[in-house]
Structure 1
Amino acid sequence: MKLKLNMRNEIKGVLALAALLVLIAFAERETNDTAVKQISIDIDNIENNHFIDEEDVRRLMQFNQQNLIGASMGSISLKEIEKRIKADKFIEDAELYSDLKGNLLVNVDLRRPIARIVRNDGPDGYIAEDGTVMPVSEKFTARVILISGSYAHNLLAMGNLNKTEEGKQLLALIEMIEDDDFWKAQIAQLDIDSKRNINLFPQVGDELIEFGQADNAEEKLKKLMIFYKEILPVKGWNKYKRVNLQYEGQIVAE
């Protein structure tokens, strides 16, 4: 009796699974035959970096002059469209969905710039928080820390700062400045020479801050904070023209 009951349950389970597969196949066929009626684009941009708008995304979605409106869902590749959208440097991620009503839903996440590379002999660029080097845009200018100097073209050539150890160290330094309210307000520019030595230019004060390379950034910023909190209030803001943070355990101010 128990064996018959188990067999009946197994048969019911197989039939339920078969019915489910039939429903899935029917839904897929219905979706494939459905024409695209509307494209809905949602751009997740909490930082208000308006490098990309809906029309830009629509242009990225086009391929070989194919008109998506009116095309059947089965004739277009959502994965291929996603790939084309995500190839844009301003875009961090993109996802596409379709429904039975003929709606094509597009969700786009934009990269957030945290520094701008400025050059006299070529185009500028931005560094995003994930290390990606992005081009500038005619539509929008982000208010971020500036990076100048002869090493700037090396950064543009990297494509992503995470590709090298030196790039990772510089990205970490930029993030420390970006994430701290005081440093973000006080440090206006990083000038990097061909040997990757960095000079910081402050918003307040005339002193040149010789930071050295981007390694040990946290320790160097701690020393610079001591300079601002303990030395300048006693000696005065116009006392020093140069501050060197490169030597371990020392602050050299002249």
Structure 2
Amino acid sequence: MLASFKLIRWKLVWFAFLGLAALVGLVLLMSLITKKDQVQTTTAMKVIIMGKESFIDQNDISNLINKEFGAVVGKPLNSVPLQEIEKSLEKLPYVSDVEVFTDMDGVIQVSIQQREVILRVINAFGKEYYVDSKGVKIPVTLRYVPHVLVANGNIAEGYTKPLEELKTPLLKDLVKIVEQVKDDALWSNQIVQLYVNSEKDIEIVPRVGDQQLIIGNADSLSYKLERLQVFYKEILPKVGNDAYAKVNVKYGGQIICERRGEWFLDSLQLKINKSLVVN
């Protein structure tokens, strides 16, 4: 028997004992937490709004929760429907992400990430809406006007409900242009508006100068913007700001400039056009 006693692997027995003790301790802790939740009341509600926009604030969210679910502060923790509150807030058109939970002090923590708006659209019928960074439409409100590019003109696509996706290639092209230029030091400052003309070509409305800058669509956009830079750096300084009414980079390998009052393509532009390489 003594030999059998010596063969027992005491290290494994010790680890098994520690594991069992830890499991028992965890069960006891969870039971204490559950019991505490059953008797502890909600002491406060803290709302955190994240994002650079200001469509909503803490009071909006607090009032909405209290209106839909009743006054949550003072209720037992286990009676507050945290998941239902979270799902309700996720339906708000200006909200991108929501997290609702309670901490050990009985405070309901509501964390909200707002949607980031990148474009304001005014269609051909005067209907307005925003497009966010995820490519969905959200409604315009008079309460807050974000500083973003405006697209208007011959845009047929309208707005029927919050968070609907973009449908037409034209609107998707407008968003592509915004995404391309919003972080560019030159174009984010120079472009103040996007306009869709009667031929459904997209035009850039510049901050400096009054030329019509026609790019057509968002195909080969980087190359088109490079040619516009050529116009600004190589052509404009030699002819002056008032020489041309239109500058068209819609067609590959060309910068077509129209003088005010007549169409004209001079040798300076031809020389520059020949130096361009078509992508």
TM-score normalised by L of structure 2: 0.80
Note closer, same or farther for the CA distance 1:120–1:36 as it changes in structure 2 (3 Å cut). farther
User: Superposition pairs for residues 38-187 of structure 1, below 5 Å?
Assistant: 38-45=44-51, 47=52, 49-62=53-66, 64-119=68-123, 121-151=125-155, 153-154=157-158, 159-161=164-166, 168-187=172-191
The answer (yes or no) to whether the contact 2:124–2:155 under 8 Å persists in 1 is no
Identical aligned residues as a percent: 30
1:37 counterpart residue number: 43
Q: Is the 8 A contact 2:89 2:98 kept in 1?
A: yes
In 2 relative to 1, CA 14–198 (structure 1 residues): closer, same or farther, beyond 3 Å?
same
Structure number with greater Rg is: 2
How far apart are residue 174 of structure 1 and its match? 0.4
Q: How many angstroms does 1:232 deviate by? A: 0.7
From 17, 34, 46, give the equivalent of 2:23: 17
Match in the other structure for 1:7:
13
Cα 1:105/1:195, change in 2 over 3 Å: farther
Inter-CA distance 206–177: structure 2 relative to 1 (3 Å threshold): same
Q: Is the Cα contact below 8 Å between 1:133 and 1:156 reproduced in 2?
A: no
Which SS does the other structure have where 1:181 is aligned?
Answer: coil
- Alignment deviations for residues 64-115 of structure 1 (CA, whole Å, 9 cap, x no partner): 4522122222122222212221221211212122123221111112122222
Contact residue 125 and residue 156 of structure 1 kept, 8 A? no
Aligned partner (choices 226, 229, 233) of residue 233 of structure 2? 229
Tell me, yes or no, if the aligned pair for 1:117 and 1:125 is still in contact at 8 Å.
yes
Note the C-alpha offset of 1:222: 1.2
Question: Distance between the aligned counterparts of 1:29 and 1:240, measured in 2?
Answer: 79
Shift of 1:119: 4.0
Aligned residues: 251
Secondary structure of the equivalent of 1:88? coil
Q: Which amino acid aligns with 2:41?
A: A
Counterpart CA distance in 2 for 1:27 and 1:152 is 58
Q: Report the AA paired with residue 28 of structure 1.
A: T
Greater RCO structure (CA 8 Å; 6+ sep): 1
Structure 2 CA distance for partners of 1:194 and 1:237, relative to 1, 3 Å: closer
Q: TM-score, normalised by structure 1?
A: 0.87
Structure 1 residues 213, 15: closer, same or farther in 2, change over 3 A? Answer: same
Residue 147 of structure 1 and its aligned partner are, at CA, apart by 0.7
In 2, the alpha carbon distance for the partners of 1:64 and 1:106 equals: 15
